[in-house]
């Protein structure tokens, strides 16, 4: 989604420094991957492709809402699990697990 053109890929991992698992996860990532670098041209392509990211995310969210409506109203679908369909305590519990 970030790249937008499917001609380059990239990824990242963010470890919450306030997590009780931070030290263990950080050490595991560092020992396994060390310092990973990117090719300068890849970074340039990622930057250029990401310029319209906000617009593409909005469109994807709109499409998701439309698909959810179709699923939710279909007689063969018992339940649609998506954060936008949670309410009250159910939503709070979902957020805690994220």
Q: What is the tens place of the pLDDT at every residue in 24-44? A: 999 999 898 887 777 888 888
DSSP classification of residue 83 = G
Distance CA 64, CA 71 (A): 10
Q: What is the tens place of the pLDDT at every residue in 77-96? A: 999 988 888 777 766 776 66
Distance CA 61, CA 22 (A): 31
- pTM of this prediction? 0.57
Q: What is the tens place of the pLDDT at every residue in 53-86? A: 999 999 999 999 999 999 999 999 999 988 888 7
């Amino acid at each position: 989604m970030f790249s937008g053109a499917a001609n380059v890929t990239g990824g990242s991992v963010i470890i919450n420094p306030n997590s009780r698992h931070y030290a263990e996860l950080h050490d595991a990532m560092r020992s396994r991957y060390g310092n990973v670098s990117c090719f300068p041209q890849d970074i340039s392509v990622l930057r250029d492709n990401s310029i319209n990211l906000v617009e593409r995310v909005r469109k994807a969210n709109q499409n998701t809402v439309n698909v959810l409506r179709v699923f939710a109203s279909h007689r063969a679908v018992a339940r649609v699990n998506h954060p936008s369909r949670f309410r009250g305590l159910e939503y709070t519990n979902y957020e805690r697990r994220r």
